[in-house]
Amino acid sequence: MDLDDIAARLAVPVAEVERVHRLAGDLPSAPLPAKADAPAILDRLAVHPDDAAEIMAGWPDPDSPLWTPELRWLLDRVIALVRADLGGHGWLPPGPELPRERGHAWRHLYVYAYLALADVAMGYHRDHGISADVSWTTLADLGRNLAVDRRMNGEGWPVMQSWLTLHARGGLYELGRLQHHRGDTDISLHIPDAGPLTPEAVSASLDQARAFFPRHFPDEHYTHFACGSWLLDPQLLEYLPEDSNIIRFQRRFELEPYEEPEGLDPDVEVLRFGFRTLTTPLDQLPRRTALQRAIIDHLRSGRHWHWRRGRFPI
């Protein structure tokens, strides 16, 4: 197929299609699970029934009129692109942001890619001796992210389609309260939306990681845990009590000197994670928690939140 024609039919920039073509080339893709097996798999991946119903309704059956040739090409090449970096841990945009309002096939194309890659990821995990429980818990971040996207009326997904390639390539593992992201010398910590960030839960997760990575990745040698987040912004000390879970989490880290982040607006990220909305006016946001009140009052005063990075020895 002509790449210019594919881009026009997908309503995306030609450069995005050319990138997929360049990275995926004629590398092997991977099949989706059998449609009959998909409901059980979606359930194991913690996909909410409303999202599962949409995914099943848009399933890429061979005779589905929803799946035009350019959509089938993109799905196949996205799977190949991500599969080609199996074992990688860098940020990997899998393909262009699609106009998802066009229907279920468009809305969930990257979910179908994830479903095809789930078995690839499970095989990678088995090769590294990782238990099925850890595998399913890690991959079930799909359901969590789809629920967030639904809550955000579709505003969450463009970031999530890249985020979930970490799981599909074996770059990230959910161990207790935290997600642990393989790197070069650091294990990066991510904080899923999964309940209180208590010191006990954090310590237990760190202890799991200290045993997990030497056991399953013995050739990789990590020296530090690291994190980049607005949750490490010292300005939160102005609003939250010293014994709050967030402040106690902050105290684990030695902060790096502050630098303006490139391609990331901390104020937007605070609203994304603190309220799961990017469009609600500040005076209409809920003020149920001390953190929510802190976010709102800080922004209404004309100040900005900072994205800070920190580390501490393993």
Contacts of 153 (CB under 8 A, 6+ apart): none
Q: Phi and psi at residue 25, in whole multiples of 5°?
A: 50, -130
Q: What is the pLDDT of residues 141-179, one digit of tens each?
A: 999 999 999 999 887 777 899 999 999 999 999 999 999
Whether residue 265 contacts residue 304, with contact meaning beta carbons closer than 8 Å, is answered with no
Helix (DSSP H) and strand (DSSP E) numbers for the chain: 15, 6
- Residue 25 DSSP code: T
Quote the pTM value.
Answer: 0.95
The pLDDT assigned to 66 comes to: 96
Q: How far apart are CA 61 and CA 65, in angstroms?
A: 9
Q: How far apart are CA 314 and CA 104, in angstroms?
A: 44
pLDDT class of 255 with cuts at 50, 70, 90: very high
Task: Specify the amino acid at residue 188.
Answer: S
Segment holding 310, helix H or strand E: strand 308-313
The pLDDT assigned to 157 comes to: 74
Q: What is the pLDDT of residues 33-53, one digit of tens each?
A: 999 999 999 999 999 999 999
pLDDT class of 74 with cuts at 50, 70, 90: very high
pLDDT class of 262 with cuts at 50, 70, 90: confident
pLDDT class of 6 with cuts at 50, 70, 90: very high
Other beta carbons less than 10 A from residue 192's beta carbon: 12
Q: What is the pLDDT of residues 113-151, one digit of tens each?
A: 999 999 999 999 999 999 999 999 999 999 999 999 999
**How much is the mean pLDDT over the chain?**
96
